[in-house]
Amino acid sequence: MTPSKTTFLDRDHSILAFNERVMDWARRGQVPLLERLRYLCIVSSNLDEFFEVRMGAHLGAALTNDKNGLYTVASYEGLAAKTHELVAQQYAIYNDELLPLLEKKGIKLVSHGERNATQRRWVKDYFVNEVQPMLMPVGLDPAHPFPQVANKSLNFIVRLTGKDAFGRENEVAIVKVPRSLPRFFQMPVVKGSKQSHFVSISSLIRSHLGDLFPGRQVTEFSQFRVTRHSDLAVDEEEVKNLRTALRKGLQERHYGRALRLEVSAGCSEFLSRFLLQQFGLPEMALYRVPGPVNLVRLTQLIDKVDAPALRFAPFSPGWPVQLQRGQSFFERLNQGDVVIHQPYESFDAVLAFLREAVMDPDVLAIKQTIYRTGAKSELMELLREAVQRGKEVTAVVELKARFDEEANITYAERLESVGAQVVYGVVGLKTHAKMLLVTRREKGKLRRYAHLSTGNYNPGTARLYTDISYLTADQTLTADLEQVFLHLASQSRLPKLNKVLMAPFYLHKAMVERMQTVADATKAGQDGRIILKMNALTDEPLAKALIHAGQQGVKIDLIVRGACILAPDVPGVTDNIRIRSVIGRLLEHSRVFYFRHGDQEELWLSSADWMNRNMLRRVELAWPVTDPQLRQRIMDECLTAYLHDNQNAWALQADGRYVTVSSQAEGKKMPPLSAQGSLMQRYGQ
């Protein structure tokens, strides 16, 4: 049977379903209270990005009344209804569960009506001395039209009675709240008290809005926030300098098309309709929220609270089990490849490898891809030092790493300033591969050493994301990487690679071929098995290849953290395919692809998800793990453990719903197993 439309699920609804699973952690009573609040913040951040990147085309279709295209009025209305539902659940958890529990622990957001006289005096003084000088109310009239409102900024809209200083009855004013102002302030409490009382910037300003308009009366007001389209679009073939064009685009990003308007739950019809008209938005783009319009900023409150008992117990990753502290990486890699399973094992070992390469006088050249490295990067400083020590440094910097463009432009300029060779990859393709290649002179000959990874060179996310780092001195593999770097720098034709699979040239086709090989062998009577772990599966040709393999009898398990368009367990179509998602304390990020037929097996690690953009519009790498012991370790830790997880796993159903996987299976009580928890216990210090 060929795949039908019912076999494929809607990608955008699948993204929202992922956020429902994340939000489940905010509901869990066994999760520390401040961490529950943090999960709520994560959902808000994810929804912001969903609107900024995914919602624009749907809204455009709604505004033009398109009913037949890829994006339609119906697609917009369906997504808007679902996001409204998610937002309502968020604020219900926030107001009905988390705030009361926090208050029981002595942590309270004190509203104006709840403040005692001492607290009101403190708030008044703070407003007058620290906040009011930063505010510039704008009364709207023909000379003062509606101001530009930046993406996701906090603002107030105010309706006034009376006349202004010139005798005019301009009744609407806008107050922008500068981003430089903290969103939460801790108020003084009685000495010796264990209470922690806070006031939000929105509550503080709303308490004193009248002070901003002397001689007039505020009759209506609301905080508001607009989310705008923020996916940078630069035609690389039309611009002479990509870096300059991106800098300009970054300035304009804050003022893209409006997509969502958030206001206070009590915002009047007059003010809400006024704002919708100003931003050119339909009614379904209005979100009335009973609380702060930006829950993401609650992370500031979380960081201010001194309550270790309300957070996850600190986790300290162990030093990689295959490495000895103080041992030369070059000596160790000449004995065999090394796997580092982050964050259970420390990312510091990767920095130590680069540091040794920078300091070693026998190292002649260092080449590295830069995608996301974080705001303050020791890695970038090491590359600068390598240049200053006389080494040839080549950095392939991806300027279009979404929401990291500005940091990467700055890093590129700093590397260039000391003499590094900086290139920006291939026109029209993002360089998403993570690779570091070191060339060293040993006994009169050149020898290469490499680091490959499923994740980014970012020490911050390396503590929170599960990824595989792979260190090797394999001559064939490192020679392939040399060719990849040469291709990216010179844009010359890529020769045939011996071990590495590279997108957009070979990776997509190679994955399809491997699925076909397993399918053919299974049809011929061999035992066939495919297990894949990734962040997203949205590429239809790859999904169809999986369906075909399953129909030939291949047993297929997919561990897909986020969006997944393939529906399992559709009778006669995907009977042999099971799909699960694991959402835990750590963000699942590693990509592992396993294929077996009979006694022939392959395991690949990759930087690529199974998405059309990764396979056909990005530079991505996949590489084989050929050492039997390392392959078995990755199988055990990244695949088998996750297929047996019954604490944090969700099973995808044929209709697109996800249901929790219980330790109570088929009437048998299984011991509780958390893949992440077991690995943290195994490797943590």
What is the rounded CA–CA span in Å between residue 99 and residue 108? Answer: 7
β-sheet bridge partners, residue 588: 466
Is residue 432 among the annotated active site residues? yes
Say if CB 532 and CB 611 are below 8 A apart. no
Nearest Cα neighbor of 591 from 392, 452, 420 is: 452
What is the rounded CA–CA span in Å between residue 171 and residue 564? Answer: 49
What is the rounded CA–CA span in Å between residue 461 and residue 442? Answer: 35
Provide the CA 677 distance to its chain's centre, in angstroms. Answer: 22
Identified catalytic residue from 432, 451, 487, 508 = 432
What is the rounded CA–CA span in Å between residue 359 and residue 350? Answer: 14
- Three-state DSSP at 602 gives strand
Which alpha helices (H) appear in 593-640, and where do they start and end? 612-616, 628-634
What is the rounded CA–CA span in Å between residue 462 and residue 663? Answer: 30
Exposed, middle or buried by CB within 10 Å (0-12, 13-18, 19+), for 558?
buried
- Three-state DSSP at 339 gives strand
- Measure Cα distances from 124 to 291, 361, 414, 556, 557 in Å: 21, 62, 45, 63, 60
Say if CB 580 and CB 588 are below 8 A apart. no
Rg of the chain (C-alpha set): 27
- Three-state DSSP at 521 gives helix
Exposed, middle or buried by CB within 10 Å (0-12, 13-18, 19+), for 10?
middle
187 phi/psi in degrees, rounded to 5: -85, 150
87 phi/psi in degrees, rounded to 5: -65, -40
Residue spans of beta strands (DSSP E) within 32-129: 107-109
What is the rounded CA–CA span in Å between residue 541 and residue 515? Answer: 12
Residues classed as catalytic: 432
